[in-house]
Amino acid sequence: MPVPVSSNGRKTSTPQALPDTQSRTDHRNVAIDRVGVRGVQHPLTVRAANGTVQTTVAEVGMFVALPAERKGTHMSRFLQVLAEHAADFDFDAATSIARHLRERLDADDASVELQFPYFLQKAAPVSGETGVMAVQVRMSCRSGAVDETRMAITVPATSLCPCSKEISEGGAHSQRCHISAEILCSSRGPTIEQLVGRIEGAASCPTYAVLKRPDEKFVTERAYDNPKFVEDIVRDLAVQLDADPAIAWYHVASENFESIHGHNAYAELTRDKR
Amino acid sequence: MPVPVSSNGRKTSTPQALPDTQSRTDHRNVAIDRVGVRGVQHPLTVRAANGTVQTTVAEVGMFVALPAERKGTHMSRFLQVLAEHAADFDFDAATSIARHLRERLDADDASVELQFPYFLQKAAPVSGETGVMAVQVRMSCRSGAVDETRMAITVPATSLCPCSKEISEGGAHSQRCHISAEILCSSRGPTIEQLVGRIEGAASCPTYAVLKRPDEKFVTERAYDNPKFVEDIVRDLAVQLDADPAIAWYHVASENFESIHGHNAYAELTRDKR
Amino acid sequence: MPVPVSSNGRKTSTPQALPDTQSRTDHRNVAIDRVGVRGVQHPLTVRAANGTVQTTVAEVGMFVALPAERKGTHMSRFLQVLAEHAADFDFDAATSIARHLRERLDADDASVELQFPYFLQKAAPVSGETGVMAVQVRMSCRSGAVDETRMAITVPATSLCPCSKEISEGGAHSQRCHISAEILCSSRGPTIEQLVGRIEGAASCPTYAVLKRPDEKFVTERAYDNPKFVEDIVRDLAVQLDADPAIAWYHVASENFESIHGHNAYAELTRDKR
Amino acid sequence: MPVPVSSNGRKTSTPQALPDTQSRTDHRNVAIDRVGVRGVQHPLTVRAANGTVQTTVAEVGMFVALPAERKGTHMSRFLQVLAEHAADFDFDAATSIARHLRERLDADDASVELQFPYFLQKAAPVSGETGVMAVQVRMSCRSGAVDETRMAITVPATSLCPCSKEISEGGAHSQRCHISAEILCSSRGPTIEQLVGRIEGAASCPTYAVLKRPDEKFVTERAYDNPKFVEDIVRDLAVQLDADPAIAWYHVASENFESIHGHNAYAELTRDKR
């Protein structure tokens, strides 16, 4: 409910009566690559490739390029555009937000970044008990000379050290790792579920929400039979993404929270297939 | 889809055939206050007091007390209980999860903690333009000798320094602050919306998602006319919570991200009215 | 270098000429438990029990109680007190800061909280290769009706699951865990190094900065021979702290970053021996 | 103190007797851009340009490129190299670490990233009261076909909104902002202190550790007389960095924690002058 009278008897004004500082001319001759808003939390309904719908929460950034001669952008419009699109968000909607920002803010280039947890129903490998597991998704959509959407997914997984297994008389150290793949596609690329599958295929074993005892036996043995260095993880993931002709560019990384150290092992590589 | 055959030809087992290490007897004579799971991300549908429903994402912790003689708890059951309750979550459901955990894990005391962003539709004070703004909610529900639910809400707001205003010839430094109130109620207490209203009433001015120029004039003047030290914010909020007979206990705090320093001002107080 | 002339020809003022808003009388009748500053980063020189000295960086909070009738505290004095003590900080200095704050701010109760990484020279268990490993220390010192200092230490360590080991034909899942102990002592209690030793003694195996291959074999086998549930870790640590007559109160906790899940296992217990 | 006998009577081994898994040949034909360690906390002594020395704590990442045919890198050597250089760290030492890593790990390309708070003695603008204020420094040093060092500094500062000032009858909203500049220099570039000075020159007003009342009057009026949009901040900083012939490349950004919103305003631009 708007409260159109100000406190202490101050006058309110119509927008027309107030100076528009942002629209003035700037004389420093410095174009700005990106200006906008960041750290916006917003509910997001995501329609998956198979038609199912889930509601999650995104951390949003929205930006436009600002030409040298323009003093400022109009910050309130970014949130108006976001609100108009948040109800039914999918890959195409993400691109639409960027295009819409470009138009509404009269910009040559606009981009939107969305980070959100995406929830998978995972069945435990033996008992079949289902539970919800979150993976982290980041979408970066840009609308400019060309339109471009990159999707990055980070998945928790298990890594087990081949060296530790080989040199030890019992056991092998394992740890949680975060494996991520960011992709740019030239045609319809993998769905979130498909990309998660490839990422988990590169780990010693996937992680699960619910594991009963027979499942725990299974994942322990699976990881022990399938040891991977951090280097192996990114290489095995790269081999899979290399083989997908829809993927024009990718970046893969793994951060392993080593159980024998207080610090992490890390590997990454980027390939441009264009 | 469960995959009931193990890798490398290892045998799978039924739960009955596998030893249940957790159920053994412990001889150290040390009871554990709380054991369980933490850092679980899960979608959460919240039914508001007015009947509207929103879906958000919670960070969840679930715990039970473990008696001295029991070796371990059963971690997988926590997630099973959560999944059964997440679809329709409100104040009563939160208490139900704690009771349900207590029963399923055969415990004398169980607790659940949920932290989630809650989204408010806010209308700008002059233009009436609406936008979504997040506040952070934490619910702590415990089921034991007695059942008890505490709700904490943290709201971004504006604070403007009275000293700076009084001593300066122009302006006064203002900054974002995070004001929080945690309450324990003896009868039906305030809704999230009502508690947010009281918190914002203690600030120099509320914050908004969308502000057009006439709105920005309004909030600037409102804060300038209503300066508050961090001490004033917690005192004004305390006075409001003191006056509500449903509130049996509260903790209020404000952290002000001072615009003239790299560090923050902070004040807090706790009152037990029982 | 002070710049005693203001911009735009504004007059500067002596402190005497400016109103002291904070010193006025407040009429709301609300005493404040703690008011002060938070999020201050400051270098800290720590003198260890054995006489060695290390410089680290602390995140600092400093607070005083404010009586109901006083409008505000004097924020700038907190940082002046900190600066006077930071050069030579040890257990006694921490208490001195709290006492000093109490006096300088004319308060009945003052407290200081310091969180900082503390660096240990650790020798690898077989090769003897040394490297630096950080543990996280938090000191809470309060000066009021009585003076009281609590020290909390969080140490990264290895946990290996007993259930996974027992039910699996090969290996056992392990992970990094963060084990913490907070203590209040009635007489001279353990040093940081001694408390770290007790914490590490409760884990499946300590972590190290540098591990060559013979060391990695050692720690892998050590953890495999010494499996611990999160419950075992807090119990074994509690047994050790129970046995130390200098410790009047303690809280112990372990958060295990399960390698087979995306979420964590957690256990905690508090004992007051007074 | 090394403990050369393993637990449970297991045999220890000499390094020569243990297989070196990492040194084997890899057949996937995937070169890795960067592999190494991350999240290492380490004390760091920084020698400033004027000869003064301060000890701080760095979060360190160290990486090497790994050719396609090599199975893995040797993680323990990264920490050995770090330890050898941490005692006397300055700009040249940072480059030395990268070169040293390249040599010790037999790599074509090595890089090191260091993030640390750097402490400035700041005198309040009127009273001259001094206090310590932290700025955040990130150094990225790479040794490969060419050696390259980038330094980024993030400084807390005050921004005051020109639009809010112009349209309002009293006051103007201000907030803390984090302004950052990352630079690559072709010859000896600015010191940390000099770059901080340029960053603060682009804000409405610098922030300080200790401000007495006459100082608070000064900084309030200074910001009110010097309003800046987030766009103005990055432009004014860009103009200064453009004018320095030693700077070959830069990226500048400002994130303003708007006091009237729960989200942030942000602007950034990158210029390559080569």
Q: What is the ipTM of this complex?
A: 0.92
Tell me what pLDDT residue A95 has: 86
B126 touches chain D (CB under 8 A): no
Q: Tell me which residue of B150, B156, B180, B171 sits closest to B221, measured CA to CA.
A: B171
Separation between Cα atoms, residue C200 and residue C158, nearest integer Å: 9
Instruction: Using an 8 Å CB-CB cutoff, list chain C residues near A163.
Output: 213, 216
- Mean pLDDT is lowest, of A156-160, A246-250, D44-48, for D44-48
- pLDDT per residue over A11-28, tens digit each? 666 767 788 888 889 999
C242 touches chain A (CB under 8 A): no
Q: Do C28 and B167 touch (CB under 8 A)?
A: no
Measured CA to CA in angstroms, residue C260 lies from A175, A207, A211, C174, D38 at distances of: 8, 5, 9, 9, 22
Tell me what pLDDT residue D17 has: 79
- pLDDT per residue over D24-44, tens digit each? 899 999 999 999 999 999 999
Tell me what pLDDT residue B269 has: 98
CB atoms within 10 A of CB B70: 18
Q: Please, are residues B269 and B251 in contact by the beta-carbon 8 Å criterion?
A: yes
Mean pLDDT of A51-62: 93
The residue among A265 and D96 whose pLDDT is bigger is A265
- pLDDT per residue over A205-255, tens digit each? 999 999 999 999 999 999 999 999 999 999 999 999 999 999 999 999 999
Tell me what pLDDT residue B92 has: 79
- How many beta-carbon pairs under 8 angstroms link A with C? 145
C249 touches chain B (CB under 8 A): no
Pairing of strands A130-143, B205-206: unpaired
CB atoms within 10 A of CB A49: 13
- A76 → chain B, closest CA residue: B210
Q: Would you say the C-alpha torsion D184, D188, D193, D196 has a positive or negative sign? A: negative
Instruction: Using an 8 Å CB-CB cutoff, list chain C residues near A259.
Output: 158-159, 174-176, 207, 223, 259
Instruction: Using an 8 Å CB-CB cutoff, list chain D residues near A169.
Output: 10-11
Instruction: Using an 8 Å CB-CB cutoff, list chain B residues near A228.
Output: none
Measured CA to CA in angstroms, residue C145 lies from B160, B272, C107, C249 at distances of: 34, 21, 11, 18
The DSSP string of A244-265 is -TTEEEEEEEEEE--TTSSSEE
D51 touches chain A (CB under 8 A): no
For chain A, give the percent of residues with pLDDT over 70.
Answer: 95
Q: Do C212 and D15 touch (CB under 8 A)?
A: yes
Q: Please, are residues B239 and C28 in contact by the beta-carbon 8 Å criterion?
A: yes
- How many beta-carbon pairs under 8 angstroms link B with D? 145
The pLDDT-based confidence of D191 (bands split at 50, 70, 90) is very high
Separation between Cα atoms, residue C192 and residue C151, nearest integer Å: 9
Mean pLDDT of B122-146: 95
The residue among B82 and B11 whose pLDDT is bigger is B82
Q: Which residues pair with C35 in a beta bridge?
A: B267, C64
Chain B: nearest CA to A159, how far in angstroms? Answer: 16
Residue A271 clears pLDDT 60, i.e. is over it: yes
Q: Do C15 and D225 touch (CB under 8 A)?
A: no
For chain B, give the percent of residues with pLDDT over 90.
Answer: 81
A22, two tokens:
């942002």
Q: Do A260 and C225 touch (CB under 8 A)?
A: no
Q: Tell me which residue of D96, D106, D274 sits closest to D185, measured CA to CA.
A: D274
Q: Please, are residues B168 and B227 in contact by the beta-carbon 8 Å criterion?
A: no
H or E segment to which residue D200 belongs: helix D192-201
Chain B: nearest CA to D172, how far in angstroms? Answer: 6
Please give the distance of CA C32 from its chain centroid, rounded to a whole number.
25
Q: Do D260 and B172 touch (CB under 8 A)?
A: no
Q: Please, are residues A173 and A161 in contact by the beta-carbon 8 Å criterion?
A: yes
> Which residues of chain C register pLDDT less than 50?
1-8
Test the D interface: residue of B161, B256, B259, B263 with most D CBs within 10 Å: B259
The pLDDT-based confidence of A89 (bands split at 50, 70, 90) is confident
D178, two tokens:
């984090």
Tell me what pLDDT residue D1 has: 37
Separation between Cα atoms, residue C209 and residue C207, nearest integer Å: 7
- A64 → chain D, closest CA residue: D267
Instruction: Using an 8 Å CB-CB cutoff, list chain D residues near A21.
Output: 162-163, 166, 229
How would you class C32 by CB atoms within 10 Å of its CB: exposed for 0-12, middle for 13-18, buried for 19 or more?
buried
The DSSP string of D13-55 is --GGGS--GGGSB--S---EEEEEEEEEEEEEEEE-TTS-EEE
Q: Do C125 and D211 touch (CB under 8 A)?
A: no
B56, two tokens:
């958000």
Apex C73 CA angle, C72 and C76, nearest 5: 135
The pLDDT-based confidence of A3 (bands split at 50, 70, 90) is very low
Test the C interface: residue of D73, D193, D208, D210 with most C CBs within 10 Å: D210
Whose structure tokens read 């290489």?
A235
For chain D, give the percent of residues with pLDDT over 90.
Answer: 81
Separation between Cα atoms, residue D10 and residue C219, nearest integer Å: 11
Instruction: Using an 8 Å CB-CB cutoff, list chain D residues near C131.
Output: 79-80, 83
Average pLDDT of the residues of chain D: 92
Measured CA to CA in angstroms, residue B153 lies from B160, B204, D31 at distances of: 21, 18, 50
CB atoms within 10 A of CB A7: 15
Average pLDDT of the residues of chain B: 92
D197, two tokens:
């000075």
Q: How many residues does chain B have?
A: 274
Instruction: Using an 8 Å CB-CB cutoff, list chain C residues near A219.
Output: 173, 260
Residue B7 clears pLDDT 50, i.e. is over it: no
SS3 B175: strand
- pLDDT per residue over A101-156, tens digit each? 999 999 999 999 999 999 999 999 999 999 999 999 999 999 998 899 999 999 99
H or E segment to which residue C254 belongs: strand C247-256
C5, two tokens:
């002339």
Measured CA to CA in angstroms, residue D172 lies from A72, B224, D220, D260 at distances of: 17, 8, 11, 11
The DSSP string of A187-251 is SS---HHHHHHHHHHTSSEE--S---HHHHHHHHHHHHTS---HHHHHHHHHHHHHT-TTEEEEE
Chain A: nearest CA to D231, how far in angstroms? Answer: 6
- Mean pLDDT is lowest, of A2-6, B137-141, B175-179, for A2-6
Q: Do C41 and D117 touch (CB under 8 A)?
A: yes
H or E segment to which residue D175 belongs: strand D174-185
Separation between Cα atoms, residue C206 and residue A173, nearest integer Å: 13
Q: What is the pTM of this model?
A: 0.95
Average pLDDT of the residues of chain A: 92
D138, two tokens:
């990130």
Q: Where are the beta strands (DSSP E) in chain A?
A: 32-47, 53-66, 110-123, 130-143, 147-160, 174-185, 205-206, 247-256, 264-272
- B14 → chain A, closest CA residue: A214
Instruction: Using an 8 Å CB-CB cutoff, list chain D residues near A267.
Output: 32, 34-36, 66
A16 touches chain B (CB under 8 A): no
Tell me what pLDDT residue B86 has: 79
Q: Which chains touch B (3 or more CB pairs under 8 A)?
A: A, C, D
Comparing CB atoms, the residue among A13, A34, A238 nearest residue D268 is: A34
B166 touches chain D (CB under 8 A): no
Q: Where are the beta strands (DSSP E) in chain B?
A: 32-47, 53-66, 110-123, 130-143, 147-160, 174-185, 205-206, 247-256, 264-272
- pLDDT per residue over A46-55, tens digit each? 988 778 899 9
Tell me what pLDDT residue B4 has: 42
Q: Please, are residues C226 and C205 in contact by the beta-carbon 8 Å criterion?
A: yes
Q: Tell me which residue of C178, C174, C177 sits closest to C163, measured CA to CA.
A: C174
Residue A32 clears pLDDT 90, i.e. is over it: yes
The pLDDT-based confidence of B10 (bands split at 50, 70, 90) is low
Tell me what pLDDT residue B12 has: 67
Tell me what pLDDT residue C19 has: 87
Separation between Cα atoms, residue D129 and residue D132, nearest integer Å: 10
Chain A: nearest CA to C164, how far in angstroms? Answer: 6
Whose structure tokens read 């296992």?
C265
Q: Please, are residues D173 and D260 in contact by the beta-carbon 8 Å criterion?
A: yes
The DSSP string of D83-108 is HHHGGGBSHHHHHHHHHHHHHHTT-S
Interface of A with D in 55-84 (CB under 8 A): 61, 63, 66, 71-73, 75, 79
Q: Do D160 and B171 touch (CB under 8 A)?
A: yes
Residue B8 clears pLDDT 70, i.e. is over it: no
